[in-house]
Amino acid sequence: MDTTLQDPLVGQELDGRYRVDARIAVGGMATVYRAVDTRLDRVLALKVMHPTLAADGTFVERFIREAKSVARLAHPNVVQVFDQGTDGGYVYLAMEYVSGCTLRDVLRERGALRPRAALDILEPILAALGAAHRAGFVHRDMKPENVLIGDDGRVKVADFGLVRAVNTVTSTTGAVLGTVSYLAPEQIEHGTADPRVDVYACGVVLYEMLTGAKPHQGDSPAQVLYQHLNEDVPPPSAAVPDLAYELDDLVATATARNPEIRPHDAVALLARAREARAALTAAQLDAVPPQALSGAHDNADDRTSVIPRALTMIRPLPVNEDEAPAADGYDRTSRLDPPPPPPRRGPGLRRGPLAIVVAVLLALGVGAGVWYINSGQFTEVPPLLEKTEAQAKARLEKSGLDVGDIEHAYSDTVERGAVISTDPAAGTRIRNNDSVSFTVSDGPKTVELADVEGYRLDRAKSVLKEDGLEPGMVTRAFSDDVPEGFVISTDPGAGTTVRAGSAVALTVSKGRAVDVPDVTGDDLADARAELEDAGLKVEVATERVNSDDYDAGQVARQSPGDGERVAEGDTVTLTVSKGPERIEVPDVVGDDVDDARQELEDAGFEVEEDRGLLGLFGDTVKSQSVEGGDTAPKGSKITLTIR
C-alpha cells in the first residue's frame, strides 16, 4: 500500500474533541470528513480548510464570519453549522452530517422524475433558499450536487455562505466563477448576483428533474454560456410530451433571461410552485416520464469553473403590450404559447328576450338546460398567494366573488402584507357570489435578543429558547475577565430585534490564556512543578519511550507543546524518556578490523579503534569495550583493541 495516499487527518483528533474517521469529499477550498464529536458522542461532518488557504488571515476571517452568519439560518432544510475552530494549522467547521445521497446521484441513477417527486424536492429547496434570501444571503452555486437527500427523505441545501466566500462572481477580474449549467445571464454578463440568480438556477434544476437532462448543452463551457445569454430555456414538455402546461410556465417564469421578469426571490418562486401543484390533477402529478431519457447526463460542466466572461449583451424579452402586469408587480411574460381560452358565448343570449331562452332550453332538452344553469352558477377560486390585501380583494371582485373574513398570521416565508392562504383553496369550484376568506402575513414574528453575557452556557441557551430563539454555533475564546464556560458575547448583540426561531451565535470563554512552557529535557518532578506554577494540570503518559536525546527519567515529549496557548486549568500530558534504545552488541573479537567495524556500524553503534604501539600494523580485533552479547544504547561508542 502506498502510504503517501493516506490522509494525515484520518484517525486524528482535532481540538481535543473531533475524531476524524473517514474522508468524504475533497473540494477546491476544503476537505470534508465524517467525524465523531467525542464530547456529545454524535456523528457530524467536519469541513477542514486546505492548509494553503488557512495561511491567509483575510480568507480565514471571512470563512469564520460567513460560518457565523450561516449558523443563524435555523431552518430544517439547511445543513446546520454547529461549531468552528482552529487546531494548529487546521481551520474547520463542524456541520450536520446527512446520511444519504445528493440530487445528482438520484438524477444519474433514475433520469427524469415524476412531477410530484420533482416538486417534492423543489419546494424544500426553495424554502431553504427563501430563508437565506430573507436573511440577506445568496447561494450563488445552486446545483443538484448541493442538494442532499437524507435516508429519511429530508431534503437539505448545503454550502450556504461558503460558496458566497469562494465561488463568487466578480466584476473586476473579467472572469466568471461558478457552475456553467446553472449560471444566470446577469452572472455571466455583469458579474452581479442577487436572489434572482438562485431563482434561475432552481428553474434549471427543475427542468433537469422533469426531463433528465440539462436545458443547455455543448462541447465546451463557452457554448453553454452563450446559450444562457442568447437562448431561452425550452419548455420541459418539448422533451417529455404530456407534461402539464403549468410546469412549462413554472420553468419559464424561473428562467426568464431578463431578471426583472423572474420572481424576486425563492419565497416568491415557492408560492408559484405551490400554485402550479394545486392546479395539477393527480394523474398529471404522477405522470411517468419516458425511460429513454434516463441516464442522459453530461456532467462535464457540473464543477465550479473559471471562465472568461462573455461579451454578448442580455437582450430583455419582449413584453406583450396588451398584457397587463400581474397583480404582484411582476410581468408574467411567458415564452410559451398558452392554451387558447375557451370560446365565449356570444352576446345574443344576454340580449335576446326571455322567450327565446326558454325556447332554446326546451329545444335542447332538460339535460342541456341543467348544464347551462350549472355552468352559469359556478366559478373557480382564483390564485391569491403573494398578492397584497388590496390586490386579493380586487381579484375576487373581478371574479364575481365576495370577500370573506380577512385574518392575519405571522409567516417566516411570506412578506408582510401578502396573502398566505385562502379558504377555499385556489382552484376550488364554488358558486358565483360565494365568499372567499384569506389570511394576510404579518411577516416574521420578531423577538428582542436578551442580554445573556456573563451567563453560564447552559443557562444562556435556556433563556434563548424561552424567548423563542435557537442557540446557534458556539465559538470558544480566551478571556481574562470572563470565567471558563460563561458567555462572552452573542451575535447578533443583546437588544437586537431578530426573527423568532433565529439562531444566535455564542462566544464562550475558555478562561484565561496561558502560554505553555517548554519542559522537555527536565526531570519529571521539575517539569510538573513548572507547569502547575503556570496554572496547568499535569498528566503523565503510562508508557515511556526510548529517546536518543533525553536520559531516562527526563521529559521526552509534551502535549500541548512549547508556546501553545491554552486555558488556565487545562491539562498538559508528559511522556517520560526511558533513555536510548538498548540493543545487543555483536561479538567481533578475532574478526578482521574492517569486517568488525562494518558489523558494529550496521548494528547502530559508533566504532573507535585502540591500536597502541603493538597494534600499529595489526588487523585483528583482540578485544571490545562492551562484550559481545551484552546490550548498549543504540548509537553509543564501542572501542576495539587491535593487535
Q: What is the pLDDT of residue 317?
A: 33
Contact 499, 482 (CB under 8 A): no
Q: pLDDT-based confidence at 40, cuts 50/70/90? A: confident
- Cell numbers of 73, please? 439560518
Q: What is the pLDDT of residue 291?
A: 53
SS3 411: coil
Question: Which residue type sits at 562?
Answer: D
Overall average pLDDT of the 548-554 stretch: 90
Overall average pLDDT of the 526-536 stretch: 94
Q: pLDDT-based confidence at 209, cuts 50/70/90? A: very high
What is the number of alpha carbons within 13 Å of residue 520 lying toward its C-beta? 13
Is a pLDDT exceeding 90 seen at residue 555?
yes
Give the whole-angstrom CA distance, residue 71 versus residue 65: 10
Q: Do domains 3-95 and 513-576 have the same CATH topology?
A: no
Q: What is the pLDDT of residue 205?
A: 97
Under DSSP, the state recorded for 577 is B
Architecture of domain 513-576: 2-Layer Sandwich (3.30)
Judged by average pLDDT, the poorest of 71-85, 159-173, 254-268, 538-552 is 159-173
Q: Which of 83, 141, 491, 591 is catalytic?
A: 141
User: Which are the contacts of 558, defined by CB distance < 8 A and separation ≥ 6?
Assistant: 516, 518, 519, 520, 527, 572, 573, 574, 575
Overall average pLDDT of the 299-327 stretch: 37
Is a pLDDT exceeding 50 seen at residue 479?
yes
pLDDT, greater one: 275 or 307: 275
Architecture of domain 3-95: 2-Layer Sandwich (3.30)
The full set of domain ranges for the chain reads 3-95, 100-308, 356-441, 446-509, 513-576, 582-642
Pairing of the two strands 419-423 and 435-441: antiparallel
Q: What is the pLDDT of residue 206?
A: 98
Q: pLDDT-based confidence at 379, cuts 50/70/90? A: confident
CA distances from 441 to 164, 300, 428 (A): 30, 44, 22
Q: What is the pLDDT of residue 573?
A: 94
> 446-509 has which CATH code?
3.30.10.20
Q: What is the pLDDT of residue 221?
A: 83
Overall average pLDDT of the 518-546 stretch: 93
Q: What is the pLDDT of residue 81?
A: 87
- Give the chain's mean pLDDT: 80
pLDDT in tens, 153-191: 899 998 774 444 333 333 333 334 457 889 999 888 887
Quick one: CA torsion of 598, 601, 605, 608, rounded to 10 degrees? 50
Which CATH superfamily is 100-308 part of? Answer: Transferase(Phosphotransferase) domain 1 (1.10.510.10)
Overall average pLDDT of the 512-522 stretch: 93
Q: Report percent pLDDT > 90 for the chain.
A: 43
Overall average pLDDT of the 425-432 stretch: 83
Quick one: CA torsion of 273, 101, 503, 444, rounded to 10 degrees? 10
Q: pLDDT-based confidence at 377, cuts 50/70/90? A: low
Name the fold adopted by 356-441: Trypsin Inhibitor V; Chain A (3.30.10)
Instruction: Write out the E strands in 226-317.
Output: 305-308
Overall average pLDDT of the 70-90 stretch: 84
pLDDT in tens, 588-601: 999 999 999 999 99
Overall average pLDDT of the 259-263 stretch: 91
Q: What is the pLDDT of residue 366?
A: 36
pLDDT, greater one: 7 or 358: 7
Judged by average pLDDT, the poorest of 65-69, 80-84, 419-423, 459-463 is 65-69
Is a pLDDT exceeding 60 seen at residue 302?
no
219 counts as catalytic: no
Q: Is 612 exposed, middle or buried (0-12, 13-18, 19+ CB in 10 A)?
A: exposed
Radius of gyration for the chain, computed over Cα atoms and rounded to the nearest angstrom: 37
Contact 284, 427 (CB under 8 A): no
Instruction: Write out the E strands in 38-111.
Output: 42-49, 81-87, 90-95, 100-102
> 582-642 has which CATH code?
3.30.10.20
Overall average pLDDT of the 47-58 stretch: 81
Is a pLDDT exceeding 50 seen at residue 309?
no
pLDDT in tens, 135-163: 888 888 899 989 999 888 899 998 774 44
Is a pLDDT exceeding 80 seen at residue 563?
yes
